[in-house]
Amino acid sequence: MVMKFTAVIVEDLSVAADVLHKYCIKSGKINVVQLFKSTEEAIPFLSENAVDVLFLDIEMPGANGFSLLDQMQYQPQVILTTSKTEYAFDAFEYSVVDFLRKPFSYQRFTQSLDKLKPLNEKKEEVEEMSHVFIKSDGKLIRLNNDDILYIESMGDYVKFITNDKKIISHNTIKALTEKINPDVFCKVHRSYIINMNKISDIRDNTLYIANAKIPVSKANRSTVMSRIKIV
């Protein structure tokens, strides 16, 4: 039995969403678990449910598709759909699997599916994410996930904070969200990624980790709270 990719479609136009859904069914490779008409509708579901593939329209009422990717705490395989090619460069920046220009044929759709990484390969990637190697001062430094308290943006650089040291590396928060383990880390602000296991206290829109006060943006607060077990 062939394992199917689980997928979510985010598309505001009903006709386009229906065509894409039919293509998924016809392929026999995609199991669409939800369809949403806006970024705002999709965020709560995607904050609590990891899927393999995200079919994402870019231009929608309210927040656009890229804003959804900015708020997600894990990186599914993303196939963007749009009627305009002007977003192609931004698509590359987000490391998407493919960029489908609407309207697209079933044949073109299947070409996108051929670019998806096999499910077993994705699983192996997650299992290997127990640590990271950081480029700093001309060398690679290994840090276990459990040693990292949080990561702070410094413009074109980031600062990794542990209990006993600070390591500065040429990187960005946006790039790191695609490389670190989403089960451990969470982007809480455009300038901060935190280790969810290191939170000691939460007060209003502030997280406390060790002796640090870390702001939580309004856009990310619901995601953070959805990952906290309250008894």
**What is the pLDDT at residue 1?**
44
Domain boundary among 106, 125, 144: 125
Q: Classify burial at 169, counting beta carbons within 10 Å of its beta carbon; exposed 0-12, middle 13-18, buried 19 or more.
A: middle
Q: Is pLDDT at 13 greater than 50 in this prediction?
A: yes
Q: Is pLDDT at 222 greater than 90 in this prediction?
A: no
Both 86 and 143 in one domain: the answer is: no
Both 119 and 157 in one domain: the answer is: no
Q: What secondary structure letter does DSSP report for 163?
A: S
CATH code, 104: 3.40.50.2300
Both 197 and 90 in one domain: the answer is: no
- Domain extent at residue 187: 130-226
CATH code, 168: 2.40.50.1020
Stretch 93-100: mean pLDDT:
85
Both 116 and 135 in one domain: the answer is: no
Does this model's pTM top 0.85? no
Tens of pLDDT, residue by residue over 27-80, are: 999 999 899 999 888 988 887 777 889 999 988 887 788 888 887 767 789 999
**What is the pLDDT at residue 85?**
74
Both 36 and 108 in one domain: the answer is: yes
More confident residue, 91 or 191: 191
Q: How does residue 122 score in pLDDT terms, banded at 50, 70 and 90?
A: low
Both 121 and 157 in one domain: the answer is: no
Domain count, the chain: 2
C-beta of residue 78 within 8 angstroms of C-beta of residue 97? yes
Asked whether residue 231 is assigned to any structural domain, the reply reads no
Q: Is pLDDT at 15 greater than 80 in this prediction?
A: yes
Q: Which of 63, 71, 66, 61 is nearest to 81 (CA)?
A: 66
More confident residue, 1 or 16: 16
